[in-house]
Amino acid sequence: MKISSRSSGRLMLIVLGFTSAAVLVSGGLAFAAEGQEGVKSTPVLTADSADLKWQDIGDLPPGAKVAVLAKSGDWSVARVKFPPHYVVPPHSHPNAEAVWLISGQVGFGFGDKLDKTGPWLKPGAFFALQPGGMHYVWTGDEGGIIDVQVSAPGGITFANPADAPKKK
């Protein structure tokens, strides 16, 4: 029997659905293996968690803050907070990124020239970037918060080297 790509796609969705349901029933992914020798569980954080330790981001213009939500091996998830009317100039990273807009008024654009004419994204918006993908970010009156999942090695390269913050 030959399986078409459409059928195999449906099969994959069904398998993912059952897998997700099994994880939820077992008490959640972060705690599924808790209690097994050598396995550490990660505490659950919320957007308003007082446990977040915010730090300046030296590789971005002053004002942005970051808090690491999870880190394991060569990947991490960070929450990034941008102040109102903030701009991250066009830049790229050597690694892929997955980005979710958590809250606020944020615009994302692609390319090596800043163009803030795009639409404001709504919380829940998601996009993925390939390694080397040139992009930029700006905020409105509210500022914004994003979650970013990245893998090592990290780094940032600005399209215009003059946009890179000066290291002290």
The pLDDT tens digits for 108-143 are: 999 999 999 989 999 999 989 999 999 999 999 999
Indicate the SS3 state at residue 4. coil
Residue 51, judged by CB atoms within 10 A of its CB (0-12, 13-18, 19+), counts as: exposed
Greater confidence (68 vs 8) lies with: 68
pTM (global) more than 0.85:
no
Which of 63, 64, 40, 42 minimizes the C-alpha distance to 51? Answer: 42
Residue with tokens 């030296």: 58
Cα–Cα distance, 50 to 166 (Å, whole number): 31
Tens-place pLDDT, residues 16-70: 333 333 333 333 333 333 344 554 555 555 555 677 899 999 999 999 999 999 9
Residue 128, judged by CB atoms within 10 A of its CB (0-12, 13-18, 19+), counts as: exposed
